[in-house]
């Protein structure tokens, strides 16, 4: 029997809710095929888990429209993401873990954090509002990101402050470190290569080529031109 987490669900069930939340935010239909790709699992196992989560009242699923989180499912997914991001802060701010490792390790911590531990973590970390990669601690506080745009949407000559790295995979973070494309830095788009080619960006006086796929995962606060 699968172990029940501090949040009353299995760790696998929580991962499904979180994945559904991510796919929905990308504006994509949450199909079993897309969920299997997102979670790296075999497609046949997805339908069984969707059925169990639907029986728990956490989502609804229809073959034509995909999976949709219920109010309680959305609450559980947001709670898990908040605790994941708090765990990342603990690992980087308190334990000194490298920025690019925190996401993967936090995936294990997030399932054992309960209300009491969350309160202590918030106090110990002095009430952070984002994870180390700039993602809002509270998903519904994402209104703070209003006006932020993906780097790929900036026109040549536009400049902004990098605020958030949406893709927290180790490979992505390691590459951003190499380019010094970190939250808080000023980045200018110099050029867009034609035919869906890369962007040329300038960071701290140095120019780099950044793929459009990567640039789509970088949110910047655009500076107003005077």
Looking at residue 139, its pLDDT comes to: 61
Structure tokens at 204: 């701290």
Looking at residue 96, its pLDDT comes to: 96
DSSP secondary structure letters along 124-162: HTT--SB-TTS-BSSGGGGGGGTT-EEGGGPPTT-EEEE
Looking at residue 6, its pLDDT comes to: 56
What are the pLDDT digits (tens) for 188-197? 999 999 999 9
Cβ(24)–Cβ(61) under 8 Å? Answer: no
Looking at residue 5, its pLDDT comes to: 63
The β-bridge partners of 162 are: 220
What are the pLDDT digits (tens) for 25-68? 888 899 999 999 999 998 889 999 999 999 999 999 999 999 99
Looking at residue 143, its pLDDT comes to: 47
Stretches where the chain sits below pLDDT 50 are 1, 143
């Amino acid at each position: 029997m699968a172990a029940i987490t501090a949040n009353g669900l299995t760790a696998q069930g929580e991962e499904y809710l979180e994945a559904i939340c991510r796919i929905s935010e990308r504006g994509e239909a949450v199909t079993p095929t897309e969920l299997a790709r997102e979670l790296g699992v075999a497609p046949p196992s997805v339908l069984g888990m969707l059925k169990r989560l639907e029986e728990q009242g956490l989502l609804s699923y229809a073959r034509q429209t995909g999976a949709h989180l219920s109010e309680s499912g959305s609450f559980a997914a947001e709670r898990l993401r908040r605790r994941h991001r708090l765990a990342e802060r603990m690992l980087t701010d308190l334990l000194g873990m490298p920025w690019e490792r925190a996401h993967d390790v936090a995936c294990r911590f997030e399932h054992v954090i309960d209300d009491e531990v969350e309160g202590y973590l918030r106090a110990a970390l002095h009430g952070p509002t984002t994870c180390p990669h700039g993602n809002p601690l509270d998903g519904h506080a994402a209104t703070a990101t209003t006006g932020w745009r993906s780097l790929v949407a900036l026109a040549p000559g536009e400049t902004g402050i990098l605020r958030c790295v949406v893709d927290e995979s180790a490979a992505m973070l390691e590459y951003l470190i190499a380019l010094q494309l970190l939250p808080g830095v000023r980045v200018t788009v110099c050029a867009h290569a034609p035919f869906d080619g890369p962007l040329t960006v300038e960071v701290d006086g140095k120019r780099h080529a950044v793929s459009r796929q990567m640039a789509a995962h970088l949110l910047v606060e655009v500076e107003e031109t005077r």
